A and B are shown apart, each in its own frame.
Chain A
């Protein structure tokens, strides 16, 4: 479910092709096989924010939602 929430946002934001590349890239950077919970989503969103530019826009909403879902 956590992975699906983030995947939907990325696809809506940049389309499936770029979303697939970005998802794989950031998961690799974080050393994660998948996003299993809200804490993973927060790390994922934070990594996108640190990349800056358009990625930070979707990163901010992913991180905010993860915090609301209990991530610390």
Chain B
């Protein structure tokens, strides 16, 4: 159906080849270097905020980098639960699928620990604990109540956008902190296999679904993006307040709104638009449903 040129067995072989250990990449006592930006400017979008000094822009970049990794850990909570569920569903069936899904789940749990370690190191070195969204489990429950096809669409969206972030913005970027770039590289390496497994799972779900179920799933997927957008706004407001606290500046209402708008623009581009417009995601959506793919494309402007 999707004409995919990989299998669960390929994904396992690649996963074994690229696997890394948490302690090798980020020992618990790692200290971060705050002299360089963390996030590439293509994602952080801080340079155009005219009322911030260069040092304040760098601080906002660091805050946004911390948010970026936290939000991955946040969504990985549901991805882990979902993947374990799919591994259970494959029990006694396709053994390669079970193995690939179990490795996928193990790697997601490892990423969550990596990002938790990173955030501890961030708070130690930054000198201020940045508030972040805390309702990951509650959000995971909401997501898991949507149709299985929609949940898998969202997971594919997330895994594919991760790859684009690395390949288009981080790889060979000499302007950002090398350790942060290394974290994103390690994340990307394993997520690239996850995206392939997602596509295999989504293909099976789509083949079993009636056309009307695909239509409902597209609506569910768009609803989930809308709900996620609301969470991004909460995080954007927290990040604007954090910047005021760590710089000791009293921003005017207009400046606060500019800061929040800039964070929304950054987070929407990073977490929503990249996924919705990813070429492979668009291709798969078109195969599943032309009408559904068009609805998704029409909704991109809501977040751009």
Contacts and interface: CB of A to CB of B under 8 A. Distances in A.
Q: Is chain B a partner of chain A in the same complex?
A: yes
Interface of A: 5, 8-10, 12-13, 38, 58, 60-61, 64-65, 67-70
B210 A64 contact: no
Contact of A61 (B91, B148, B208): B91
Interface in B82-118: 85-86, 88-95
B205 A68 contact: yes
Nearest to B208: A69
Of residues A9, A60, A68, which shows the largest number of chain B Cβ atoms within 10 Å of its Cβ?
Answer: A68
Interface of B: 85-86, 88-95, 148-149, 204-205, 208-210, 213
Given A61-B88, A64-B85, A64-B88, A69 B93 contact: no
List of 4 A-B pairs having minimum Cβ-Cβ separation, nearest first: A65-B89, A69-B208, A61-B91, A9-B92
17 contacts: A8-B94, A9-B91, A9-B92, A10-B92, A12-B95, A61-B90, A61-B93, A65-B90, A65-B93, A67-B148, A68-B89, A69-B208, A69-B209, A70-B148, A70-B149, A70-B209, A70-B210
Contacts of A9: 91-93
A17 to B, nearest CB: 16
B208 A8 contact: no
Given A68-B205, A70-B208, A13 B213 contact: no
Contacts of B95: 12
A69 B205 contact: yes
Contacts of A5: 93
Q: Is the interface of B mostly helix, strand, loop or mixed?
A: helix
Q: Is the interface of A mostly helix, strand, loop or mixed?
A: helix
A70 B95 CA distance: 22
A64 B89 contact: yes
Nearest to B148: A68
A70 B213 contact: yes
Contact of A12 (B93, B208, B210): B93
A65 B148 CA distance: 10
B92 A13 contact: yes
A60 B87 CA distance: 12
Of residues B90, B91, B204, which shows the largest number of chain A Cβ atoms within 10 Å of its Cβ?
Answer: B91
Given A69-B204, A70-B209, 14 more contacts: A8-B94, A9-B92, A10-B92, A12-B95, A58-B91, A58-B92, A60-B88, A65-B89, A65-B93, A69-B148, A70-B148, A70-B205, A70-B210, A70-B213
Given A68-B148, A70-B148, A8 B205 contact: no
A65 B97 CA distance: 13
A64 B213 CA distance: 18
Of residues A9, A10, A38, which shows the largest number of chain B Cβ atoms within 10 Å of its Cβ?
Answer: A9
Contacts of B86: 68
A10 to B, nearest CB: 8
A68 B210 CA distance: 13
Contacts of B91: 9, 58, 61
A61 B89 contact: yes
A20 B93 CA distance: 16
Of residues B92, B94, B205, B210, which shows the largest number of chain A Cβ atoms within 10 Å of its Cβ?
Answer: B92
